[in-house]
Structure 1
Amino acid sequence: MFIQLVEWIDAHADILLDDRSNNLIGVGIGKKSAGPLTDDSSFCITGFVEKKLPEKAIKAQGMPLFATAAASAAGLKHPKDLQFEIDVVETGAPFTALPGLKVPHAQRGLHGGAPPILDLQKRFHALRSGIGITNPQGAYPGTLSVGTLGFFVVDDQGRTYLVSNNHVIANENNAKKGDIIVQPGTLDLTSSELSLMNTLKKLSAQLGIAKLSDWVPIGFHGPAGIPFNEVDCAAAELAASGRDLTQIARIGLGCDVGGVAAPFTVDPVTGQVTGSTRVYKAGRTTGWTEGDVTQIAVVSDVQYGAGWARFRNQLGISASPDNIGPFSKPGDSGSGILNRDQELVGLLFAGSETSTLANPIHLVLNGLKATLGVTSLDVVT
């Protein structure tokens, strides 16, 4: 059944999303309980909507029920002809690429929320995962921005790069190779720092930590059609900055990255999940948070400044019951997501009020290896 669900998503997700009358923002594979993939309920096709409505209200607005839409997409006459269960999850808002924190200079201090217990919203003398970074080229000082440094990789030539999202350090395909990446992000500068570094040249000279190397382009909806994306990622080679690199692999709370892994394993025949679906991240805005992988093979449209982009094969993550607040907020984009053994399993890039989307880590590394033109690319541990 699990293989059938994956094949069904591959064949019919685009049909469901292209029909705007369905009111869907994404579809994926989850559990009927809408809980972690390790629970005892059956696998199902999950539809993501901004707001769940009563059946009467759905019909009154001329929208099909999700079961009806799913059956129609598969060429079936009745929902009862579907060979699997379905579920609907409310997101509260469209999925949006998460830096979201680009504001006029005059509004500094009004955005971003209170710093987490470990303040990741400042200048760090030792570079590490989870801290705030940005590409200020073409925006500073009029616009202030910030995202998150995800993790570090090294190529076959011994060059070391930081990894984050395309939309954090490559400005949604509009950056230039060689752009200076700064730490902290400009939204996190103090008043005195803004006064002392009131030009882009001064800012780059004082806070530059890397030079943008390359990125995997994001394909946006356009007149020619809807291309699909699998990753939102970019890499910047570390530059001489005077920063301490001895803690380069350490994530926000001090533990080391332990390598790369899938968040869990699914037997393709039985659909049984082994391993833990519990995940963690350190991000600039919400700091250290805990979540569960609740959907896989997610296909969704994501809103960017440049327009909408469709992503396939994504991980859906919800905050665990023990987490206070959401798993991520604007400014956390680019965070590396780890499993309970501190192994990287994904790269956070988008979210809504209740759900987070992440690129699976193997897709990120393969995409960057191809765009950088290197034969190997290993996570620094």
Structure 2
Amino acid sequence: MPTTRDYEYLLECANVIGVDYNEAENRVKVFVSQKMPPETLADEDDVKKRVQETDADVTVDVVDAGYDDERAGYEPLSTLEVIPEALEGRGERHRPVPAGVSEINAISTAGTGGPYPARVTADATDEASGAVWSDAVGADDLVRLSNNHVYARSNEADLGEPILQPSPQDGGESDDEVGALVGYVPIDDGVRVDVAARSVDRDRESDRYLELEDEWPTGVRRDGYEELREETVTKTGRTTGVTSATVEATSASVNVDFGEGGTITLRDQLITGYMSEPGDSGSAVFLEDGELVGLLFAGSTEQTICNRIANVEADLGVEILTEEPDDGNGDGGGDREPPVYTTTFERALEVDLEGASLDLESVTFGGRPQPGATVPLRIAVVASEPGSYWVDVDGDRERFEIGGESSDDLGHTVTASAAVPEDAAGTLSVSIAGGRLE
């Protein structure tokens, strides 16, 4: 039986930017940048005529991608000159960092941080793998994923370039660095993925997906993609938040216009209806039961294009975990700790930091606050210079040293606890103060 690759010759036709073959129905779906009346097309550009010349039994559907003019391909959703503002709350600074919020290479505009944690496999850094990895990365290291064009600037970035959360367009600066580019699959004709990885500080990462169910992902889909046709999928991203669409194609070959990088053909893509805008690149895509199925990277006004998540794992050399390992060495498991994000402090905490030399980075609860319980806290602070400092949590003070004369590590984590009153309702108020010891 034919496969989608047998119909890639249709990508040479005017306006054609994607093609997908459905073996079960013996049907070819052709995506065009602009749908034209058949009488205006030259014979070499009439996809129905060209298919039926070789097999009259194949059904051909032509689908409009919604452009107003002729295009070379779909557009990656974080390479455009004009990117809309982030949805409320998604362009802010989040610590710990969940998936679905604004983050991108420091020399770029705006994108979305994707799946975490992903564990680097033993053979990921083999030269034969085709992926590019930093020498500092080893087997079982944890990384966060997004697109090559988000983290690695479409092959142009050097390993080690900083990744900011939030993105520069959303106000991100050097102090907002959350990791560095450590690996990517080069974008080239015939590639199946647009993916890259950044390093992580586990104390500042969350394995949650913003505004999705706490238990997602419930699994990672590694086969059976043909079964996804007509299924509903959902993504969480910087620009449009949580949106859903129906899967229209599962093995598509698509042309994608990477600007200066040229038009690249990617294979084995999922195509859904509209559910994204510029800045959503890197979003994780799930089935309705929470199974992770895709990594969003391109689209149009009518369709969204996603890598199969199984290809993301295989081609980059990672295994996406359904929760963060509890022991730091990648052996997985353990209960997920619900984080409290800095962007919700005004609703959950009363913060009073004295002095400008010590800043509060994040507060993480070690369990869900319940009336009458004592909840462990992990408080991350960063100093402006080495020295002796203090942090006070509800009257319990800890003193500590940060750095040395030549140290660049000015961060410190304080462990404490908060007692939840028996009659607490709605919110928990914790008083945190800190400063430098003179």
Question: How far apart, in 2, do the equivalents of 1:274 and 1:112 lie?
Answer: 30
Task: Give unpaired runs (5+ residues) of structure 1.
Answer: 32-36, 104-110, 194-202, 220-226, 267-272, 319-325, 370-375
Counterpart in the other structure of 1:155: 120
Compare the two structures and name the one with the higher helix fraction.
Answer: 1
Question: How far apart, in 2, do the equivalents of 1:366 and 1:119 lie?
Answer: 33
Q: What are the superposed Cα offsets for residues 331-352 of structure 1, whole Å, 9 maximum, x if unpaired?
A: 0011111111212101111111
- TM-score normalized by structure 2? 0.63
Q: What are the superposed Cα offsets for residues 2-21 of structure 1, whole Å, 9 maximum, x if unpaired?
A: xx2xx2422231x222x34x
Match of 1:127 among 92, 97, 104: 97
How far apart are residue 98 of structure 1 and its match? Answer: 1.0
Structure 2 CA distance for partners of 1:158 and 1:64, relative to 1, 3 Å:
closer
Counterpart in the other structure of 2:194: 232
Compare the two structures and name the one with the higher strand fraction.
Answer: 2
- 1:169–1:212: 8 Å Cα contact kept in structure 2? yes
How far apart are residue 265 of structure 1 and its match? Answer: 5.6
> Which of the pair has the greater relative contact order for Cα pairs under 8 Å at 6+ separation?
1
Question: How far apart, in 1, do the equivalents of 2:228 and 2:152 lie?
Answer: 37
One-letter amino acid of the structure 2 residue matched with residue 216 of structure 1: V
Match of 2:266 among 311, 315, 318: 311
Task: Give unpaired runs (5+ residues) of structure 2.
Answer: 68-72, 122-138, 324-438
Question: How far apart, in 1, do the equivalents of 2:103 and 2:5 lie?
Answer: 35
How far apart are residue 263 of structure 1 and its match? Answer: 8.5
Counterpart in the other structure of 2:84: 112
The alignment partner of 1:68 has SS state of helix
Structure 2 CA distance for partners of 1:24 and 1:250, relative to 1, 3 Å:
closer
Determine whether 1:377 maps to 2:377: no
Q: What are the superposed Cα offsets for residues 265-303 of structure 1, whole Å, 9 maximum, x if unpaired?
A: 64xxxxxx4897110000111110001111121111100
- TM-score normalized by structure 1? 0.72
Identity %, equivalent residues? 30
Question: How far apart, in 1, do the equivalents of 2:222 and 2:145 lie?
Answer: 18
- 1:228–1:312: 8 Å Cα contact kept in structure 2? yes
Structure 2 CA distance for partners of 1:274 and 1:128, relative to 1, 3 Å:
closer
Match of 2:297 among 336, 349, 361: 349
The alignment partner of 1:67 has SS state of helix
Q: Which moved more, 1:180-189 or 1:147-156?
A: 147-156
Determine whether 1:250 maps to 2:232: no
How far apart are residue 249 of structure 1 and its match? Answer: 3.2
Determine whether 1:83 maps to 2:57: yes
Counterpart in the other structure of 2:136: none
How far apart are residue 380 of structure 1 and its match? Answer: 4.1
What does residue range 168-247 of structure 1 map to in structure 2 within 5 Å? 168-189=150-171, 203-204=173-174, 206-219=175-188, 227-239=189-201, 243=204, 245=205, 247=206
Aligned residues: 298
Counterpart in the other structure of 1:279: 233
What does residue range 281-296 of structure 1 map to in structure 2 within 5 Å? 281-296=235-250
The alignment partner of 2:219 has SS state of coil
Question: How far apart, in 2, do the equivalents of 1:27 and 1:130 lie?
Answer: 29
- 1:46–1:86: 8 Å Cα contact kept in structure 2? yes
Question: How far apart, in 2, do the equivalents of 1:23 and 1:69 lie?
Answer: 15
Determine whether 1:96 maps to 2:38: no
Q: What are the superposed Cα offsets for residues 112-162 of structure 1, whole Å, 9 maximum, x if unpaired?
A: 14x43x5212111221110111111xx4xxxx5011111111235442211
